[in-house]
C-alpha cells in the first residue's frame, strides 16, 4: 500500500490529465471526474485493485465499472497514470478515431462495459460478480456510481438482487457530490440518506469523506473483509474538487475549462510529476478445483423421421440410441422447445447461463433450470437488472439466454440498446407474443418486440413456427457472436418440419408451392399455421398460393423473397405484431422497387381479451383474413 503523499501526487497527475484532456476536447465532464479522484486513486494504486495491465482479459483481474460513464476522463486519466495511455493520447479525448470516447466504450481495452446511460453499471457488476462465483474465481467487482443515478429504479433492482445472492465480491462506490446536470440532486450532499436506504436492503454500508485518503483506504480495507453480503462505500465529495472555479458550483456539468481557465487551474493544482506512474499489483492465478463437468444428454427430437413408418406413432433416435416417441399430430409449443433445446445443447456450450424474470414455468426456461440449476439465475420481476446482469456475464465469457414475456422486455429496452455497444452476444427470448396469447389481454401481448429488436445494429431476429425450427434456431443462436432475439409462441402448435430439417440465419422455407401459384404469402411463427390452413382452403377453390415461413425476420431471405415475388402476382405478409416495424415493413423494404403489389396483414386494432382464434380473426390475421385478401387480389386481377 502506497503512502498518502504518493497517492496525493498521483491524484494531482490524474487531475492534470482530466483537465488537459477535456480542455483539448472542448467538452466533457471534468467536474464529475474531479470529485471521484481520491476514491479511484486509492482503489487502483493503494494496493486494493489487482489487475494485469498487459492482459485486460485475464480472468483473475478485478473489474472496475464506471456506471457514471460521463466521468470517462477520470477512467482514462487513471490508466494514463498507470502508464497505459500517453499524455498525447489524452489530448485525443472525444475525437473521431480515438479510443477515448466521451463515455466508456470497449474500444478502450480497460473498459468493462459501455456505460453512459445512467443506472446500469451496478446491474452489470452484479452479472460479473455472479460470473466469478460460477467460475470459482476470487476477483472483486467494483462499481463507481454517481448520486444522480441512484434515482434510477434499475439501481435498486440490482441492490436487491445482489443482497439476495449474498455477493460479497461486489463493492459499490457512490460519489455523493450533491450536484447533477441542472442543479442539486435528490438528496444533495447527504451521504447518510443513501446509507439509510442501502442498508435497509441488507448491504454493508461505509460512509467516508471521499477526499480523505485515510478514510477511503480504511473503507476499502474493511470492505474486503465483509462476508456474505455486498458492500456500498458512500462518499461525500465536492464536484469539481481541486479547481476553485468549479468546486461545488452549479453550471459546470458537462462543461470544460477554456485555455485561460486551464492555465489558472494548473497553477492552482501545483507541481505535477508527469513521469510518475502508479503501480497496480497483478492478480494471483487462481486454480479452479471441482469445476463441474456434464455428460452428454440425449437429443430432444421433434417431427417425423424420414425413416418413420406411416403408422400413428414414430420414433426419433439420439446418439445414445435412446428413443422419444411422438404421435404424428403432436402439438408442442415453441416456448417449451426452447427449454428442451437448451438442455440438449448445454453439454456442448457449458458457458450458457439462463436468466429468467420469474416466468420460467411459462417461458420454458424451467426445463433448463431443473436439469442444470447451477447455470440458472432467477432474476425475479426486474427485467432491467436482468438484462444488465446478462451484459456483465457476457463480458466475462458467459453466453446468457435472457427470457421473459415478450411484452416485458420492452421495459428493459434501454439496457438492451446499451448491450449492443458493449460488444456482447446476449440471446433474448420473448414468449407469449402477439394476440394469439388469448384472454390475458393487450397488457401481456408482445406486439412491439420485433420492431424493437430489428432496430438494433447487427441484431438477428428469429421467429420459429414449430418445435423443430425452435430447437434448431436456439442452437443457431449459440453459434452467432452477436445479439439474437428469439420470439416464441404460447400455444401448442403442430409439427410441420422433419427432425432432419436444417435452418440458417437469413433463411426461409417454402412450405407450399406450385407452378400455378398466384400469390406469395409470407408468414412467421403462429401465422405460418394460419397461412397453411388458408392454402388448403384456397386450393379447394382452385387458387394456389405459395406459403413462405420467414423464420429469419432479420436478416430476411432477400433472394428467396425476390424469387417468390417474381413468380407470383402479389405478396401478402401476415404477422401477429403491430404493422410498424414488423415483418411486413421488413419484406416491403426488400421488395421495394420491384413493382409488385405488397399487402400487409398485421395487428392494427386495439386487441381485446378473447380466445386466440377469436383475436386472430378480429385482427384479420387468421386463415380467414388471408383467404379474404387473396380472393380480393385474385378477383381484382381478373379481366372484366
CATH superfamily entry for domain 329-494: Thiamin diphosphate (ThDP)-binding fold, Pyr/PP domains (3.40.50.970)
Angle, vertex CA 391, rays to CA 389 and CA 395, nearest 5 = 120
- Report the chain's mean pLDDT, rounded to a whole number: 92
In contact, 199 and 205? CB cutoff 8 Å? yes
**Residue written as grid cell 413493382:** 595
- Give me the percent of the chain exceeding a pLDDT of 70: 92
The CA distance from 222 to 44, in Å, is: 16
In contact, 73 and 28? CB cutoff 8 Å? yes
CB atoms within 10 A of CB 445: 26
Residues 53-87 have pLDDT tens digits of 999 999 999 999 999 999 999 999 999 999 999 99
Q: What is the pLDDT of residue 3?
A: 86
Q: What is the pLDDT of residue 90?
A: 98
- Give me the percent of the chain exceeding a pLDDT of 90: 91
pLDDT band at 330 (very low <50, low <70, confident <90, very high): confident
Query: What does DSSP say about strands 170-176 and 204-209: parallel, antiparallel, or unpaired?
Result: unpaired
In contact, 630 and 571? CB cutoff 8 Å? no
DSSP 3-state of 75: helix
Region 445-452: what's the mean pLDDT? 97
Residues 1-36 have pLDDT tens digits of 578 999 999 999 999 999 999 999 999 999 999 999
pLDDT exceeds cutoff 60 at 300: no
CA–centroid distance for 28 within its chain: 27
First to last CA, the chain: 92
Q: What is the pLDDT of residue 639?
A: 54
CATH T-level topology, domain 4-269? Rossmann fold (3.40.50)
Burial (0-12, 13-18, 19+ Cβ within 10 Å), 315: middle
Query: What does DSSP say about strands 552-554 and 460-462: parallel, antiparallel, or unpaired?
Result: antiparallel
Residues 6+ apart with CB under 8 A from 71: 29, 32, 33, 36, 144, 146, 175
DSSP 3-state of 402: strand
In contact, 531 and 574? CB cutoff 8 Å? yes
* Domain limits, the chain: 4-269, 329-494, 509-637
Helix (H), strand (E), coil (C) string for 336-388: HHHHHHHHHHHHHCCCEEEEECCCHHHHCHHHHHHHCHHHEEECCCCHHHHHH
Higher pLDDT, 315 or 285: 285
pLDDT exceeds cutoff 70 at 310: no
Region 176-193: what's the mean pLDDT? 94
Residues 6+ apart with CB under 8 A from 206: 219, 222, 223, 231, 232, 233, 234
What is the value of pTM for the model shown?
A: 0.93
Residues 582-640 have pLDDT tens digits of 999 999 999 998 999 999 999 999 999 999 999 999 999 999 999 999 999 999 866 54
In contact, 299 and 344? CB cutoff 8 Å? yes
Q: 509-637: same fold as 329-494?
A: yes
CB atoms within 10 A of CB 244: 12
The CA distance from 580 to 400, in Å, is: 29
In contact, 430 and 459? CB cutoff 8 Å? no
Of the listed ranges 162-166, 308-312, 341-345, 504-508, the least confidently predicted one is 308-312
Q: What is the pLDDT of residue 188?
A: 92
Q: Where are the beta strands (DSSP E) in 445-514?
A: 460-462, 484-487, 493-494, 509-512
- 57 in catalytic set: no
Which residue in 163, 383, 448, 619 is the catalytic one? Answer: 383
In contact, 484 and 462? CB cutoff 8 Å? yes
pLDDT exceeds cutoff 70 at 323: no
Burial (0-12, 13-18, 19+ Cβ within 10 Å), 103: buried
Residues 490-510 have pLDDT tens digits of 999 999 998 889 999 999 999
In contact, 571 and 585? CB cutoff 8 Å? no
Sheet holding 519-523, edge to edge: 509-512, 545-549, 519-523, 570-578, 598-603
Residue 522 φ then ψ, to 5° = -105, 120
Residues written for the chain: 640
Region 371-384: what's the mean pLDDT? 98
H helix intervals, 483-606:
526-540, 558-566, 583-591
Q: Domain 509-637's class?
A: alpha beta
Q: What is the pLDDT of residue 306?
A: 35
Amino acid at each position: 500500500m502506497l503512502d498518502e503523499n504518493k497517492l496525493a501526487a498521483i491524484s494531482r497527475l490524474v487531475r492534470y490529465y482530466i483537465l488537459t484532456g477535456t480542455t483539448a476536447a472542448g467538452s466533457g465532464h471534468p467536474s464529475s471526474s474531479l470529485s471521484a479522484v481520491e476514491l479511484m486513486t486509492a482503489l487502483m494504486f493503494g494496493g486494493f485493485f489487482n489487475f494485469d495491465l498487459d492482459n485486460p482479459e485475464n480472468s483473475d483481474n478485478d473489474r472496475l465499472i464506471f456506471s457514471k460513464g460521463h466521468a470517462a476522463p477520470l477512467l482514462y486519466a487513471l490508466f494514463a497514470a498507470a502508464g497505459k495511455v500517453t499524455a498525447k493520447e489524452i489530448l485525443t479525448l472525444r475525437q473521431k478515431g480515438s479510443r477515448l470516447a466521451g463515455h466508456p466504450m470497449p474500444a478502450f481495452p480497460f473498459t468493462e462495459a459501455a456505460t453512459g446511460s445512467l443506472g446500469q453499471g451496478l446491474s452489470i457488476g452484479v452479472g460479473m460478480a455472479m460470473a466469478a462465483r460460477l467460475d470459482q474465481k476470487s476477483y472483486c467487482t467494483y462499481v463507481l456510481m454517481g448520486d444522480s443515478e441512484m434515482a434510477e429504479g434499475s439501481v435498486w433492482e440490482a441492490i436487491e438482487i445482489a443482497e439476495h445472492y449474498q455477493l460479497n465480491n461486489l463493492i459499490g462506490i457512490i460519489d455523493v457530490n450533491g450536484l447533477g446536470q441542472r442543479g442539486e440532486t435528490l438528496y444533495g450532499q447527504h451521504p447518510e440518506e443513501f446509507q439509510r436506504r442501502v442498508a435497509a436492503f441488507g448491504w454493508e454500508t461505509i460512509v467516508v469523506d471521499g477526499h480523505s485518503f485515510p478514510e477511503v483506504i480504511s473503507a476499502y480495507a474493511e470492505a474486503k473483509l465483509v462476508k456474505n453480503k455486498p458492500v456500498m462505500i458512500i462518499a461525500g465529495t465536492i464536484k469539481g474538487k481541486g479547481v476553485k472555479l468549479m468546486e461545488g458550483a452549479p453550471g459546470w456539468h458537462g462543461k470544460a475549462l477554456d485555455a485561460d481557465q486551464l492555465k489558472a487551474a494548473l497553477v492552482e493544482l501545483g507541481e505535477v510529476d508527469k513521469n510518475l506512474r502508479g503501480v497496480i499489483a497483478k492478480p494471483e492465478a487462481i486454480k479452479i478445483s471441482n469445476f463441474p463437468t456434464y455428460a452428454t444428454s440425449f437429443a430432444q427430437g421433434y417431427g417425423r423421421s424420414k425413416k418413420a413408418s406411416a403408422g400413428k406413432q414414430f420414433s426419433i433416435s439420439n446418439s445414445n440410441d435412446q428413443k422419444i416417441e411422438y404421435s404424428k399430430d403432436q402439438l408442442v409449443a415453441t416456448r417449451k422447445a426452447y427449454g428442451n433445446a437448451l438442455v440438449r445443447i448445454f453439454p456442448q456450450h457449458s458457458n450458457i447461463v439462463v436468466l429468467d424474470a420469474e416466468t420460467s414455468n411459462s417461458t420454458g426456461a424451467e426445463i433448463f433450470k431443473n436439469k442444470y440449476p447451477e447455470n440458472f439465475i432467477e432474476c425475479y420481476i426486474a427485467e432491467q437488472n436482468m438484462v444488465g446482469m446478462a451484459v456483465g456475464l457476457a463480458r466475462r465469457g458467459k453466453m446468457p439466454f435472457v427470457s421473459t414475456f415478450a411484452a416485458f422486455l420492452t421495459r428493459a429496452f434501454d439496457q438492451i440498446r446499451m448491450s449492443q455497444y458493449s460488444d456482447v452476444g446476449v440471446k433474448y427470448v420473448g414468449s407469449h407474443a402477439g394476440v394469439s396469447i388469448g384472454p390475458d389481454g393487450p397488457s401481456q401481448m408482445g406486439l412491439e418486440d420485433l420492431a424493437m429488436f430489428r432496430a438494433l445494429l447487427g441484431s438477428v431476429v428469429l421467429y420459429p413456427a414449430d418445435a423443430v425450427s425452435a430447437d434448431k434456431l436456439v442452437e443457431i443462436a449459440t453459434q452467432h457472436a452477436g445479439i439474437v432475439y428469439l420470439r416464441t409462441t404460447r400455444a401448442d402448435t403442430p409439427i410441420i418440419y422433419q427432425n432432419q430439417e436444417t435452418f440458417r440465419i437469413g433463411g426461409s422455407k417454402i412450405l407450399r408451392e406450385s407452378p400455378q401459384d398466384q400469390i406469395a404469402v409470407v408468414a412467421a411463427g403462429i401465422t405460418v399455421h394460419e397461412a397453411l390452413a388458408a392454402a388448403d382452403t384456397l386450393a379447394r377453390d382452385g387458387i394456389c398460393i405459395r406459403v413462405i415461413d420467414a423464420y429469419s425476420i432479420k436478416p430476411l431471405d432477400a433472394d428467396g423473397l425476390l424469387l417468390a415475388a417474381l413468380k407470383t402476382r402479389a405478396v401478402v405478409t401476415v404477422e401477429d405484431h403491430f404493422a410498424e416495424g414488423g415483418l411486413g415493413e421488413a419484406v416491403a423494404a426488400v421488395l421495394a422497387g420491384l413493382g409488385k403489389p405488397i399487402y400487409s396483414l398485421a395487428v392494427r386494432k386495439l386487441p381485446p381479451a378473447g380466445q386466440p382464434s377469436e383475436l386472430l380473426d378480429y385482427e384479420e390475421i387468421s386463415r380467414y383474413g388471408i383467404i379474404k385478401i387473396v380472393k380480393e387480389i385474385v378477383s381484382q386481377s381478373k379481366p372484366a
